[in-house]
């Protein structure tokens, strides 16, 4: 089944749950008008639905091919990429100085969701290029910016992000790729990287690798890592691609999913050293890479939303057509399976989780925009802290629910879900990677608990929890019977979050073992409270807008989330507060 971009839902979540409409009204985005925003979303939806979505199955079945160092993308991808880049999608949020349109990151986030719903293995490539643009804009020398940014912004060249080595995955500080200073001021890079997304392909004339490496006299660990730009083809004096650099793909991986995306083992310097150019300062590479990674983490979070949306659409369509048994109250059977309460529950869970994750991701993107465009220094700092707090939540929750929703999608299809023909299985396989790359979800939870909760002495997270409380009060004040027990259940969830947060930033600060053991359930609790509140905000906005026929549906989904999914919060709170001990004292259970 094909994908149809849910443009109206996306626009509504962006404007009314994520805070885009107030940001627009405050003038954060200059003279950008709502009409243009709607036009961009419509056009992106059309492109994703009509051009990219048909590539999804062929990408999965034929995959990327590797032969004699050359990677061939699946049939139709080259033409689709050329059309996509020509339409200017790659530079949507990039600086105007380098040919971009400088539109909001939040708008770009909505588009990234659509590219990835349509074909995740396709949508992944541009995520890396956009990340490279961010890193070079923030840290590149003028010469690097002039030489590379215009082509990366236009999408004529793509970018890669190269951290991982066999012994250095989550532990980036263990990387061994070497960089040596050359007399001409450039560097010679030697070493091997693994799992490099779009490290080699046939979509563009040049590929710009951003490679982390270590200088001979560098300190050990992450403080001794530098970032280098290593082009596949070195540039001629006129800026065009010239001589081939000493960097090549050795092979590509055979994977569970995203078959259309080539995942390469890269070899640098088997002819003496790949020519690289320093980005930022020596030994400050991690700071540069973080610029790239934060954007990339949000983009990967959006992949979770994207795959969940596509799986939900497909499951809904199937459940309306497939007939089995007689539903309660039906005059005669067989009834469409959507009429059975258990199937309905699965579909509502899929929809509610998808929309909650979408709202969290877009809210993170709006915070990133405010951090960049806020009216004064203080507003920008607060927004930066908000974005930092929400990024690991968005990444881990959205990609976890991507897998859960895709799994439910298979379940709704019954046996047909397990058969490749329907495509439900592909979503499940594709979804799995997003919880692993760009920092595993376990690492995201640790980041949230150890680095993000202590931001501004705990003021960042406390201010956020106060906002969630305000939403609960607004639901209660609305006094709309359609909300059922939403206010009460959401209120309990937010207070569970408040208690565990106080506990983590209070007594457990000197007890890292306990905090680390409870980090993953804590992140889920955080996302449950945030997602539930944002769905309620969306419902309240729908009810406020006179003549909005969609209000009952939005209220119903907020209520379903609060009464069926958020109610697990009390159990998660217990797991964080009391369960850590049984994690840390249970080594015997894993012995043998
Ligand atoms: C398809 C694909 C595409 C990829 N694309 C890229 C790319 O473009 N560029 C790139 O550089 N890399 C890429 N990667 C690599 C990816 O980012 C890593 O696989 C990921 O960061 C995890 O590292 P690892 O595989 O070594 O797992 P490990 O680090 O060995 O982790 C294994 C498990 O241990 C846990 N763990 C590890 N350390 C800790 C700790 N300190 N505390 C708690 N738990 C811990 C992890 O959460 C995980 O569950 C890609 C990988 C794949 C499969």
Ligand 1 atom nearest to 168, measured from its CA = 26
Tell me the pairing of strands 157-162 and 206-213: parallel
Confidence of residue 506 (pLDDT cuts 50, 70, 90): confident
pLDDT at 546 (0 to 100): 67
**How far, in Å, is the centroid of ligand 1 from the Cα of 174?**
13
**Residues 513-557: pLDDT tens digits?**
888 999 999 999 999 999 999 999 999 999 998 666 678 999 999
**What phi, psi does 337 have (nearest 5°)?**
-65, -20
174 lines ligand 1 (CB under 6 A): no
Beta bridge mates, 157 = 206
User: Residues 33-39: what's their mean pLDDT?
Assistant: 97
pLDDT at 139 (0 to 100): 96
Lookup result for tokens 């979050």: 497
**Residues 65-101: pLDDT tens digits?**
999 999 999 999 999 999 999 999 999 999 999 999 9
Q: pLDDT: is 550 or 48 the higher one?
A: 48
167 lines ligand 1 (CB under 6 A): no
Instruction: Give me the helix-helix angle, 519-544 and 459-478, nearest 10°.
Output: 40
Cα–Cα distance between 150 and 289 in angstroms, integer? 20
**Residues 261-310: pLDDT tens digits?**
999 999 999 999 999 999 999 999 998 888 777 788 999 999 999 999 99
Lookup result for tokens 């906002």: 467
CA-nearest residue, atom 7 of ligand 1: 196
Confidence of residue 149 (pLDDT cuts 50, 70, 90): very high
Cα–Cα distance between 96 and 84 in angstroms, integer? 18
pLDDT at 181 (0 to 100): 98
> Is the dihedral angle over the CA atoms 32, 37, 43, 45 positive or is it negative?
positive
Please give the angle made by the CA atoms of 66, 147 and 299, to the nearest 5 degrees. Answer: 55
pLDDT at 14 (0 to 100): 98
Model pTM greater than 0.85? yes
Ligand 1 atom nearest to 162, measured from its CA = 11
As a 3-state breakdown, the chain gives helix, strand, coil percent values, each rounded to 5, of 65, 10, 25
Cα–Cα distance between 471 and 74 in angstroms, integer? 47
Determine the residue of 201, 437, 441, 583 to mutate for testing ligand 1's pocket, defined as the one with the most ligand atoms within 8 A of the Cβ atom. 437
395 lines ligand 1 (CB under 6 A): no
Given a cut of 80, is residue 383 above it in pLDDT? yes
Ligand 1 atom nearest to 212, measured from its CA = 11
Ligand 1 atom nearest to 438, measured from its CA = 17
CA-nearest residue, atom 1 of ligand 1: 263
Q: Is 592 exposed, middle or buried (0-12, 13-18, 19+ CB in 10 A)?
A: exposed
Catalytically active residues are 438
162 lines ligand 1 (CB under 6 A): yes
**Residues 182-232: pLDDT tens digits?**
999 999 999 999 999 999 999 999 999 999 999 999 999 999 999 999 999
């Amino acid at each position: 089944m094909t994908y149809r971009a849910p443009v109206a839902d996306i626009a509504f979540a962006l404007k009314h749950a994520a805070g885009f409409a107030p940001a627009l009204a405050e003038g954060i985005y200059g003279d950008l008008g709502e009409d243009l925003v709607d036009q961009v979303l419509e056009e992106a939806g059309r492109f994703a639905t009509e051009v990219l979505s048909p590539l999804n199955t062929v990408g999965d079945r034929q995959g990327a091919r590797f032969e004699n160092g050359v990677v061939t993308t699946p049939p139709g991808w080259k033409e689709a990429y050329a059309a996509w880049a020509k339409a200017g999608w790659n530079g949507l949020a990039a600086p105007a100085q380098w040919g971009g349109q400088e539109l909001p990151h939040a708008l770009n986030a909505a588009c990234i969701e659509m590219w990835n719903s349509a074909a995740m293995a396709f949508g992944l490539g541009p995520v890396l290029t956009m990340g490279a643009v961010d890193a070079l804009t923030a840290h590149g020398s003028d010469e690097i910016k002039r030489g590379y940014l215009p082509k990366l912004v236009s999408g004529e060249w793509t970018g890669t992000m190269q951290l991982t080595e066999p012994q250095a995955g989550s532990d980036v500080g263990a990387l061994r790729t070497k960089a040596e200073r050359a007399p001409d001021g450039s560097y010679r890079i030697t070493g091997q990287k693994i799992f490099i997304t779009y490290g080699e392909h046939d979509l563009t004339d040049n590929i710009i690798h951003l490679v982390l490496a270590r200088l001979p006299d560098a300190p050990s660990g992450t403080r001794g890592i530098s970032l280098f730009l290593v082009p596949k083809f070195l540039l001629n004096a006129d800026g065009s691609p010239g001589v081939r650099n000493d960097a090549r793909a050795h092979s590509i991986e055979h994977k569970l999913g995203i078959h259309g995306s080539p995942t390469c083992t890269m070899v640098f310097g088997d002819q003496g050293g790949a020519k690289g150019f320093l980005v930022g300062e020596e030994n400050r590479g991690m700071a540069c890479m973080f610029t790239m990674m934060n954007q990339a983490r949000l983009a990967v979070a959006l992949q979770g939303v994207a795959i969940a949306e596509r799986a939900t659409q497909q499951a809904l369509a199937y459940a309306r057509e497939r007939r089995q048994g007689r539903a309660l109250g039906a005059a005669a059977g067989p009834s469409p399976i959507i009429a059975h309460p258990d199937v309905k529950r699965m579909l509502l869970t899929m929809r509610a989780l998808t929309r909650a994750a979408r709202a969290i991701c877009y809210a993170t993107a709006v915070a990133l925009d405010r951090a960049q465009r806020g009216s004064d220094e203080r507003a920008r700092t607060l927004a930066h802290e908000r974005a930092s707090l929400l990024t690991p939540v968005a990444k881990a929750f959205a990609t976890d629910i991507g897998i859960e929703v895709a799994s439910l999608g298979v379940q709704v299809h019954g046996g047909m879900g397990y058969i490749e023909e329907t495509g439900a299985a592909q979503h499940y396989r594709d979804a799995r990677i997003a919880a692993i790359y760009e920092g595993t979800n376990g690492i995201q939870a640790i980041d949230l608990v150890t680095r993000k909760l202590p931001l501004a002495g705990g003021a960042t997270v406390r201010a956020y929890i106060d906002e969630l409380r305000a939403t609960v009060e607004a639901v209660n004040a609305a006094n709309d019977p359609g909300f059922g027990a939403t206010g009460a259940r959401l209120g309990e969830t937010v207070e569970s979050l408040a208690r565990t947060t106080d506990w983590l930033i209070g007594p457990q600060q000197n007890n890292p073992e306990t905090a680390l053991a409870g980090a993953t359930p804590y992140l889920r609790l955080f996302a449950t409270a945030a997602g539930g509140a944002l769905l309620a905000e969306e419902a309240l906005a729908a009810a406020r807008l006179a003549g909005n026929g969609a209000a009952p549906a939005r209220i119903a989904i907020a209520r379903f989330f609060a009464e069926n999914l958020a109610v697990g919060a009390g159990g998660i709170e217990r797991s964080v507060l009391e369960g850590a001990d049984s994690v840390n004292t249970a080594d015997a259970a894993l012995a043998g």
